[in-house]
Copies of this chain bind each other. A is one copy, B any other.
């Protein structure tokens, strides 16, 4: 494996490179030297701001993409219809009222119902996890606010989030079954700022819907300390969230049309929507910029690659996957010719790991291409790719998936918070990611052969 600091394509390939390797290597180094990815995410996040489906920012972002993608040279730029739920946060407030008054930093979880006007005030009972809620006595929970104190562990691959996010998604219904009047969770995040992390939650059918909110981590720790004094702790919570009907929230698509096999598609995905906090610079402005820049640079090559590289800016990733489902439906008959799909939706860090999910026999081909990423410091472990959430609806069709995984060590410091802003993005790291996506996409669009289909037993998203 070449060292991460080398950028020479001849550094140490351990297998013969395919014929187009020289062009791919030059593309990679050109992107590193001339990437505009940071300007692209700056433009999107400064001009549209945050952009939850149904919001003015979401409409501004779609308009931005329809205006800018042609300027970046993309072909066949169009909006594709998709529907999304329309939820509005409204103001939120929370305070500890006993034993010592403290105002708390709080955000409603996405999809939460409102509290009654004037709020709810009740005694607090703690549970360390969703599972722990289930073990509480119904009598101890009835009429109380359940505080769920699950801790999110920091991890380069984001695995701490996967272990913790259930506390956000499932706590409300778990607590409501025992008669709780609301839930507040310790934010699913790894920082220590007074900025709560929002994110999606779900109500189970047939269970009363109770308000659900996230406290910032320092506030959650304060609440925990007061609970440990043994004195009754009371909390007041007021949420003014509103759930409306469905709303249009289109995907935006653009292409580098293949020169000889235009119906064979290399799909690069990211999502144009964001939560309604911060400016969505990291989640997922950075992903949009990564794939747009990759396409922009491929378009500047002397000739377009053999296959089509299709950019899809999915809408409504955050609270419904309406865009992803619409794409899979609209393009149902083309999915057999989707050679591979990649999504950039894990921040703006350096790509450090490439993972594959396709026909086992084609893994060799994948490995030969990833040789081109060695000079970027990308490892290729024997771990199946998972794809971003927007690729879930493609999985039943067996579309091969490749992950180019960014370093997520700090991702959950900012994820779904007001701190998700441009200043958190390091230009050099984002440029490296754009180089990785450009190189892989070009190679996949040019290579002889394909990755087959994902075996049936690996098509379910886990």
Contact = CB atoms under 8 A, between A and B. Distances in A.
Interface stretch (A192-200, A241-249, A398-406): A192-200
A195 B195 CA distance: 8
A421 B194 contact: yes
A382 interface: no
Contacts of A278: 194
A46 B100 contact: yes
A201 to B, nearest CB: 23
Contact of A46 (B47, B226, B279): B226
Contacts of A24: none
Contacts of A459: none
Nearest to A218: B421
Contacts of A421: 194, 218, 222
Contacts of A417: 194
Nearest to A100: B47
* Copies of this chain, tallied across the complex: 2
A300 interface: no
A419 interface: yes
A241 B49 CA distance: 28
Interface in A32-49: 42, 46-49
Nearest to A281: B218
B100 A194 contact: no
Contacts of A424: 192
B46 A419 contact: no
Interface in A381-421: 417-419, 421
Nearest to A225: B46
Given A194-B417, A217-B423, 7 more contacts: A46-B225, A48-B100, A192-B423, A193-B419, A194-B419, A218-B419, A218-B421
A-B pairs with the 8 shortest C-beta distances? A218-B421, A194-B418, A218-B423, A47-B100, A192-B423, A49-B102, A194-B419, A193-B193
15 contacts: A42-B225, A46-B226, A49-B100, A49-B102, A56-B101, A102-B279, A192-B423, A192-B424, A193-B193, A193-B195, A194-B195, A194-B419, A221-B423, A222-B421, A222-B422
